[in-house]
Amino acid sequence: MPPARFAWFALALAVPAATAASPQETPREEPSLFSFAWISDMHLDAGKTDLVARGLRQADELKPDFVLITGDNNAQPAPEDPARPEPLSLRRQRFLKDFLERHLKAPAVVIPGDNWPQDFDRVFGPMQFSFDYGGIHFLLLAPDRRCHAAAAEGLAAFDPATWEWMRKDLGASRGKPVLVALHEPIYPPTFVDAPRLREMIRPHSNVIAVLQGHLHAEMDWKADGRSYLVAPTLGASATPRFRFVRACPSHLSLRTLVLRPGQERFEMGERERRIEIPPALREGLNKPSGGFEKGNLSCVPAHPCVEDSALAGRRGELKEILRDFLIGGGKPPPEEKGKR
């Protein structure tokens, strides 16, 4: 684990356990309206193709409506064509798309991570988009600008146009349960725009959960009246994992599948994590028919992820974010309370 990544992982573990949500055994099962597999941090390379393909195939066996993939996807490039030279970053995105098409039958909903985001737009399209499915609104995000400076993860930011689109999207989705998904967590905060994004989401009580990756460890937190979930890694751990989510009439049900050393298949864990959907938000929930379609699709037009060296000037801000989070015990510092 890189030093910067380890620092954020240690940060999460340092937060008092009282702020973490514990999986609960539940008394009854409800029928699923729909389901999706949630895979993150595949870190696909030549040494992991068999492992990741196995995970994708087993995700398919669960018959999900779609598979959500939340970043740090692929380092392996497609073969170079001398007749049509392409940048390495573009060949990586082409390899990923082809790999998903070969090993996954369910539709893939993909966003980039902080590793290998370049040219995502040229192959997958927009990296910030939203849609409705089964009565739930999905808001998927990725920063517009990054600085991959040495020993400084987290130098990532959104552009003004993206902030405005997010504000409008959240405002137009009142009355629906909303799931926000992005790679780098906003709780615990792991990038410079994390506190601002958390403040934007905070007043929207219909945002029931934020789905996050990046930290390579399964974590479930409760803050601001909602769940902040961190996905485990599929490709960068001795025990690869992914999560399976069922949307039910009153709640979301999450279970984790684990591939333990020496085993051939991922095993479904018995423990269930439930996220209640408030009664006032359940009226529009429904069982989709006719295959997976992104209803009310909205997006920021596809554009490149920009490498912005100016973000290096915000290194000190990262330290302040870490300090404030630790001092606050995982709670917003006093000056943030009441901000909108």
> Which pLDDT score, from 0 to 100, does residue 82 have?
87
Cβ atoms of 106 and 65 within 8 Å: the answer is yes
Output the pLDDT for position 272.
95
> Strands 207-212 and 178-181, how do they pair?
parallel
What are the pLDDT digits (tens) for 153-166?
899 999 999 999 99
pLDDT tens digits, 35-72: 999 999 999 999 999 999 999 999 999 999 999 999 99
Q: Which of 257, 256, 255, 259 is nearest to 239 (CA)?
A: 259
Enumerate residue ranges in the chain where pLDDT < 50.
Answer: 3, 16-19, 21-22, 25-27, 333-340
CA–CA gap between residue 212 and residue 214 (Å, rounded): 7
**Per-residue pLDDT at 16:** 47
Domains, the chain: 31-336 (3.60.21.10)
Give me the sign of the Cα torsion angle 39, 43, 45, 51. Answer: negative
CA geometry: angle 117, 74, 317, nearest 5 deg: 40
- pTM, two decimals, is 0.91
